[in-house]
């Protein structure tokens, strides 16, 4: 029997069976697929049991609910702490490109650690795919693994480990850890390959499997996974760190059930989700009802001469929203395609950003949002489309398109365009003769400005702002044959406006290896700059170079098969955020301060802010 969750959902829908929200989508009469369906609002008192639709006979008291909710958050944070302390590769123990969450017995996210937002919205799809694959074969002590985008995953480098928390003989909760592995195979080191045309070019696919049981880890499976990585020692260490972190979470969650009892814990989880739904509906109810359209551009893809638009139509109702991607183009022979789980996650991230308060930060909020996609489009590709860039490039464009649409409904909430990610994966041999793969996360771009504030500088991309810290310069130089010559803000990169966009950065990396190394750029925003909003100007675009001797080569966002020679200097100039509002309305004191601090040059200030008289001392 084909257990793939999306097929199961469609079959169930055709047969007239009820499909639980969040299981991957229900095909509508137009052949499109909906995510979780908005449903009539339910008062918080009428909690729903995570294992079914039975209404509770009594509401949980608010004090106990608050305590349990924060304890569940603490469980997720402890999973993060274990992962940070025990993982091997810098992409995890320094840049922290991983996330952790607690999900209920139906696979709905109840509590999340504050890590990578785009991971969190997609995690329920992966856990629900695991539940479907092992519905009749789960045992206490089992830990499951998956990364396949067509089994609820996002892209292959993001490997999810999840374990059920058994209470009274059945799973009551799930603990999940999604971590970006440094290399999962594929035709390019690091997994990001602009030349990928199908998913088999991108690395090792892992449909849901048992990674460990109560008797221990499956060494045969672990050996197979590591054999498909260019950095097997890091892969093994990072997977074992994931396993340890998930098992710690299971221990802590089981202790909560032992302390509070199954009924109280189940009621609390259901009430948390209901509170998330209530918070999101209250937020949407404050927006202007109507139909709106938003668009964001991706740099030209393989075979295309023009930028690729992400088009969205948003319908805002009394307390719910529908987001329709029906006008998006067909899937491409490119790694830019976004699986349904990732597309849905990006929409959730956009709405989370616009909500106030932390109550909405769970799966309950998604009950108020319907997502419509067209199977076979690049925001809902069909197997075997390549997808590796989905969590970074496409996710950012989806969030930005939704933001642009909602700027008409909630203008005080949205921000201008953020810098897009332009990352590099450098692979070679270190001083000790071991192979390495190094991902650049340091040079993050600027955030878009807001009606009430300038954008943050060097914050990062909109799908993960500040979630992946810059790795230590000293540790990087100690572990790899690199010398970091400069790491500073990029003057004049923030878009002008009444509120200025955040600045990008400048990062100069000198390669000091004994032989050639491969370098794979993967990014966006080299040809399409972060857009301004409400009359604001765009930020500067990404601009990455290689200096070799007296020559300078500009790196394309999708170049492949490039080589670094000893002595080469990689110059990374990240984009600035878009400005918000007419630059002519910017506070003169803010302009003078920007010039004084070096954020804006005198020449740019004179061009964009002619209403401001600069004193001679502002150099």
Query: Model confidence over 476-503: pLDDT tens digits?
Result: 898 889 999 999 999 999 999 999 999 9
Distance CA 277, CA 279 (A): 5
pLDDT number for residue 58: 52
Q: Is 310 helix (H, G, I), strand (E, B) or coil?
A: strand
Residue 261 reports pLDDT greater than 60 = yes
pLDDT number for residue 48: 32
pLDDT number for residue 356: 76
User: What residues contact 587, with CB distance under 8 A and at least 6 apart?
Assistant: none
Region label for 392, one of left (φ > 0), alpha (ψ between -120 and 50) or beta (otherwise): alpha
Structure-token pair, residue 617: 């001392």
Check: CB of residue 129 under 8 Å from CB of residue 219: no
Average pLDDT of the residues in 180-199? 88
Query: Model confidence over 340-386: pLDDT tens digits?
Result: 999 999 999 999 888 876 677 899 999 999 999 999 999 999 999 99
Distance CA 161, CA 149 (A): 14
pLDDT number for residue 616: 67
Query: Model confidence over 42-94: pLDDT tens digits?
Result: 433 333 333 333 333 357 899 999 999 999 999 999 999 999 999 998 888 88
Distance CA 557, CA 301 (A): 10
Residues forming a β-bridge with 99? 178
Check: CB of residue 314 under 8 Å from CB of residue 323: yes
As a whole number of Å, the end-to-end CA separation of the chain is: 71
Residue 237 reports pLDDT greater than 90 = yes
The strand order across the sheet containing 209-213 reads 109-112, 98-104, 170-180, 158-167, 143-146, 209-213, 216-217
Domain limits of the chain? Answer: 62-274, 415-586
Average pLDDT of the residues in 541-553? 93
Residue 164 reports pLDDT greater than 80 = yes
Residue 37 reports pLDDT greater than 60 = no
Tracing tokens 């940070």 back to the chain, one arrives at 84
Helix axes 219-227, 232-260, angle to 10 degrees: 140
Helix residue ranges per DSSP H, 140-261: 219-227, 232-260
Distance CA 279, CA 275 (A): 6
pLDDT number for residue 488: 93
User: How large a percentage of the chain has pLDDT more than 90?
Assistant: 68
Check: CB of residue 540 under 8 Å from CB of residue 574: no
Query: Model confidence over 564-602: pLDDT tens digits?
Result: 999 999 999 999 999 999 999 999 999 999 999 999 999
Query: Model confidence over 401-445: pLDDT tens digits?
Result: 999 999 999 998 899 999 998 878 888 887 777 788 777 766 789
The structure's pTM equals 0.86
């Amino acid at each position: 029997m084909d257990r793939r969750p999306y097929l199961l959902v469609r079959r169930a829908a055709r047969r007239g069976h009820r499909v639980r929200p969040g299981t991957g989508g229900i095909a509508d009469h137009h052949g499109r697929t909906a995510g979780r369906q908005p449903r009539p609002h339910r008062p918080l008192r009428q909690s729903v049991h995570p294992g079914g639709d039975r209404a509770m006979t009594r509401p949980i008291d608010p004090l106990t609910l608050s305590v349990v909710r924060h304890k569940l958050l603490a469980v997720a944070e402890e999973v993060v702490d274990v992962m940070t302390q025990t993982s091997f590769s810098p992409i995890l123990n320094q840049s922290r490109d991983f996330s952790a969450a607690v999900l209920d017995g139906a696979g709905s996210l109840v509590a999340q650690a504050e890590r990578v937002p785009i991971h969190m919205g997609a995690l329920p799809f992966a856990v629900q795919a695991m539940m479907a694959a092992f519905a009749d074969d789960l045992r206490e002590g089992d830990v499951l693994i998956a990364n396949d985008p067509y089994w609820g995953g996002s892209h292959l480098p993001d490997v999810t480990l999840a374990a059920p928390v058994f209470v009274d003989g059945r799973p009551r909760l799930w603990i999940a850890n999604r971590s970006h592995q440094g290399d999962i195979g594929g035709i390019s080191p690091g997994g990001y390959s602009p030349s990928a045309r199908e998913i088999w070019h991108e690395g090792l696919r892992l449909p849901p499997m048992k990674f460990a049981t109560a008797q221990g880890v499956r060494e045969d499976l672990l050996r197979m996974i590591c054999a498909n990585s260019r950095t097997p020692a890091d892969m093994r260490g990072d997977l074992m760190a994931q396993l340890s972190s998930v098992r710690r979470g299971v221990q802590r969650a089981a202790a909560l059930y032992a302390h509070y009892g199954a009924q109280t814990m189940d009621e609390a989880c259901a009430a948390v989700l209901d509170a998330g739904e209530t918070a999101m509906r209250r937020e949407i109810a404050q927006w202007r009802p109507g139909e709106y359209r938003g668009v964001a551009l991706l740099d030209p893809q393989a075979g295309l001469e023009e930028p690729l638009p992400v088009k969205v139509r948003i319908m805002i109702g009394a307390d719910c929203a529908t987001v329709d991607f029906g006008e998006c183009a067909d899937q491409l022979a490119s790694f830019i395609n976004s699986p349904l789980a990732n597309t849905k996650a990006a929409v959730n991230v956009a709405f989370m950003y616009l909500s106030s308060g932390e109550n909405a930060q769970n799966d309950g909020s998604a009950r108020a949002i319907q997502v419509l996609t067209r199977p076979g489009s690049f925001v809902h590709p069909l197997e075997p489309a390549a997808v590796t860039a989905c969590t970074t490039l496409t996710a950012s464009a989806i969030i930005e398109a939704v933001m642009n649409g909602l700027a008409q409904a909630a203008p005080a909430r949205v921000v201008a365009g953020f810098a897009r990610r332009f990352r590099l994966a450098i692979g070679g041999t270190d001083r000790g003769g071991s192979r390495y793969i190094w991902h650049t996360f340091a040079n993050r771009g600027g955030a878009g400005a807001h009606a009430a504030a300038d954008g943050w500088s060097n914050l990062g991309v909109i799908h993960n702002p500040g979630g992946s810290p810059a790795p230590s310069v000293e540790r990087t130089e100690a572990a790899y044959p690199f010398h970091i010559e400069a790491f500073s803000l990029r003057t004049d990169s923030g878009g002008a406006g009444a509120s200025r966009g955040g600045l990008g950065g400048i990062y100069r990396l000198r390669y000091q290896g004994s032989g050639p190394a491969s370098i794979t750029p993967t990014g966006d925003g080299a040809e399409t700059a972060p857009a301004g909003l409400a009359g604001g100007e765009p930020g500067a675009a990404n601009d990455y170079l290689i200096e070799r001797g007296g020559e300078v080569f500009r790196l394309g966002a999708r170049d492949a098969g490039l080589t670094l020679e000893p002595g080469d200097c990689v110059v990374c100039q990240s984009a600035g955020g878009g400005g918000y509002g007419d630059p002519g309305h910017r506070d003169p004191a803010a302009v003078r301060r920007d010039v004084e601090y070096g954020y804006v040059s005198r020449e740019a200030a004179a061009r964009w802010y002619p209403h401001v008289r600069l004193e001679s001392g502002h150099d």
